[in-house]
Amino acid sequence: MPFAAAAVDRLWRMAAGETASASPDAAARAAWADMVSAATEAIRQGRYEKLVLARAAARPCPEANVWPAMAYLLSAQPGHDVFACSLGRQGVFLGAAPERLVDAAGSRVVVDCLAGTAPRGPDEETDARWASELLASPKQREEHAILVRWVQERLRPWSVRLSAPASPALRRLLHVQHLYTPLAVELSRRRHVLELVDRLHPTPAVAGVPQEAALQFIAAREAWPRGWYAGPVGWFGRQGDGRFAVALRSALWRGGWAYVYAGAGIVATSNPDLEYEETEWKMAPVLAALTWADRGGDGA
């Protein structure tokens, strides 16, 4: 993975003092606002339908804390695809992915469409209110609908049946809640799960529409290289069945630093400050795991 390896090297230089790890929060927010403003302007001009922008935050993390952080994720994030990939000298990539990219068994396929986000509330009343606001938000519904429509268009030529609920449901996680639409697909013939991964990745949940133009925007604008962030992570068997998740809620550990990633979907009406807050909510699971490890497994 030459791009990912180069990304790790660039992160390492940043942590050594080149740029981002020493930047104050105000500077990070300002850079984010500039990037989101450029994205919304490009979307209003009709160049894109949606863009997904990401950022990373660096924090010290001794090597001894990596595996306790993994143990925390396994305990605190049920229903997630929890993973850790040892990359040798490039470090360890770990996370708790909430979203199936594809789950394939024979000709039957399930895809999770997860887009549109709100935080969990501090009490039941607030949590319910924020959930209702998420379900009613035109911005969040638009962001979600773009993803569902794109996945359907990608899989329809390969399918004899493709079904989805008429409206999204809520998927409530520990720190955030998402708009959620599962797609059930019956393929016209059995395909290896890696064919399906190649057909779908990267979806508008992590890149944008149109796909290639969105990837060019991301490469030109994001200050931190994504590396393995938001890539497919999973398994497959001899017959080609398998399950892959999207490597979100993740971090790269290398040389005493953890680089925690998160992104947000941008449409024409996006507000840079609100989108920044969304990335903080999404960083919370991994940051909680690292904090728990810092404290020797006491609290979060």
CATH architecture, domain 2-294: 4-Layer Sandwich (3.60)
Closest CA to 154 of 116, 207, 105, 106: 207
Task: Give the per-residue pLDDT at 247.
Answer: 97
Tens of pLDDT, residue by residue over 271-281, are: 999 999 999 99
Mean pLDDT of 160-182: 96
What is the pTM assigned to this prediction? 0.88
Task: Give the per-residue pLDDT at 231.
Answer: 96
The β-bridge partners of 242 are 104, 236
Q: Is the pLDDT of residue 179 over 50?
A: yes
Active-site positions read: 50, 99
Structure-block tokens of residue 281: 């909510």
Tens of pLDDT, residue by residue over 119-133, are: 999 999 999 999 999
> What span, in angstroms and rounded, lies between the C-alpha atoms of 148 and 157?
15
E strand or H helix at 42: helix 25-44
